[in-house]
Structure 1
Amino acid sequence: MVLCVCANMQLSSQGTAHDEIDFEFLGNVTGEPYTLHTNVFAKGQGQREQQFRLWFDPTKAFHTYSIIWNPQHVIFAVDGTAIRDFKNHEARGVSFPKSQPMRLYASLWNADDWATQGGRVKTDWSKAPFVASFRNFNADACVMSGGAQRCPAGTMEASAAGGSGSWWNQELSGMGYRRMRWVQRKFMIYNYCTDPKRVAQGVPAECKLR
């Protein structure tokens, strides 16, 4: 079976200069592992892809895929383990998705022009309909209404017990960072920061920053 349809969860604002944070499972050929694709757009600029082949088969059971988005970090996590941390380096001239409210979207869409083997493999529509299942959705977030931001009580207060605070000021602990780096060494299959085609045009500024 050839499946070039993406199952995705994303946060996105509107317009050409939109912000966007993507979690996507790319299509595959039967028997091959699934690729988890992540991307971050800020002010309409994307092409910040990192891809992973996870340490489990995502079709066998439900798993928890989380996005922690706050003024300083976009952290992608799988079953509580961070796999990527896109940091705010606006002070160094790097755009960061911070100024636009975003909505959550979940969908299936045809991406056979690029998703499977660079677009060489096309969707087998005889296998339709394609199904993606989601459950136990949860959001802890501020809400924009009438141009004003409303946040749950305590959102911007630091946590006295844990020290890391709520999601508003959450960042990776030393252990969390080391665990993320282990995941990236073992399971990352693509990183825009090391793509020869991208690097030839100049290494993106954030790739040189920690």
Structure 2
Amino acid sequence: MIHGFLGFLIQCFSLLQLSSKGANWDEIDFEFLGNVTGEPYTLHTNVFSQGNGDRERQFHLWFDPTTDFHTYSILWNPKRVIFYADDVPIREFKNLEYIGIPFPKNQPMRIYSSLWNADSWATQGGRIKIDWKYAPFTASYSNFTADACIWAFGASSCDTNSPYSNSNSKTKVWLRHELDIAKKRKMRWVEKNHMVYDYCKDHKRFPHGPPLECSVDNN
């Protein structure tokens, strides 16, 4: 699990990103899309596998992310990716390789965070541009942590005392981690009240039907 706290945000800020390298890269990311004064910031999430993304879901959060530090977390294991905001699950992307959907699990990824100009597309489809008179822009972090184990050839890189270790009697907590009923209800609440874009429902973008995983209960 990887998580961090964020302070001030602007036009587009890649808060937390896991990414591999190369033409067929994998990527899991949070991004904040700025807005005009008084309008809400958009939390943008995406999952890439083997160089293919187009799996965006966006949210207007139940708090103003610019007024205080908040926790944004990604849990990534071979079975699922779960996005959290203040420990509330907002999105789950499951491993559906059994129906031919690529899943980011075979490439090592690095952690990136950046502040960057995306005003060609980020704010109201690129209509609103950055006002550079407010530069320089800054972002602040606190209590960033990353806990990771590397699984390869059926073995874990964790030591035997780790709760993630393959030899622990309560084994594979990390590997087995999934949402319980209460957290699934919270995620449904977020989807109903705070999700403002879902690629699975974008008929203009996918006139011949949404991606295959949209026909499966991916939550």
The answer to whether TM tops 0.5 is yes
Matches within 5 A, 1:19-38: 19-38=26-45
1:136 Cα deviation (Å)? 0.4
SS at match of 1:196: coil
1:125 Cα deviation (Å)? 1.0
8 A contact 1:4–1:121 mirrored in 2: no
1:201 Cα deviation (Å)? 3.0
8 A contact 2:12–2:31 mirrored in 1: no
1:199 Cα deviation (Å)? 3.3
8 A contact 1:5–1:123 mirrored in 2: no
Equivalence for 1:84: 91
Matches within 5 A, 1:43-62: 43-62=50-69
SS at match of 1:197: coil
Matches within 5 A, 1:55-204: 55-143=62-150, 150-152=157-159, 153-157=162-166, 160=170, 166-204=173-211
1:124 Cα deviation (Å)? 1.0
1:149 Cα deviation (Å)? 6.4
Please tell me the residue identity of whatever aligns with 1:62: F
TM-score by length of 1: 0.90
8 A contact 2:33–2:122 mirrored in 1: yes
For 1:173 and 1:93, how far apart are their aligned partners in 2? 26
Compute the RMSD of aligned alpha carbons: 2.1
Which of 16, 27, 33 is the aligned partner of 1:9?
Answer: 16
Q: CA deviation digits over 1:45-99, x for unaligned, max 9?
A: 0010000000000111111100000000000001111000000000000010000
1:4 Cα deviation (Å)? 2.6
TM-score by length of 2: 0.86
8 A contact 1:7–1:132 mirrored in 2: no
1:101 Cα deviation (Å)? 0.5
For 2:147 and 2:13, how far apart are their aligned partners in 1? 26
Identity %: 58
Equivalence for 1:42: 49
For 1:21 and 1:156, how far apart are their aligned partners in 2? 24
1:166 Cα deviation (Å)? 2.3
Please tell me the residue identity of whatever aligns with 2:73: S
For 1:201 and 1:151, how far apart are their aligned partners in 2? 45
Number of equivalenced pairs:
203
Gap regions ≥5 residues in structure 2: 1-9
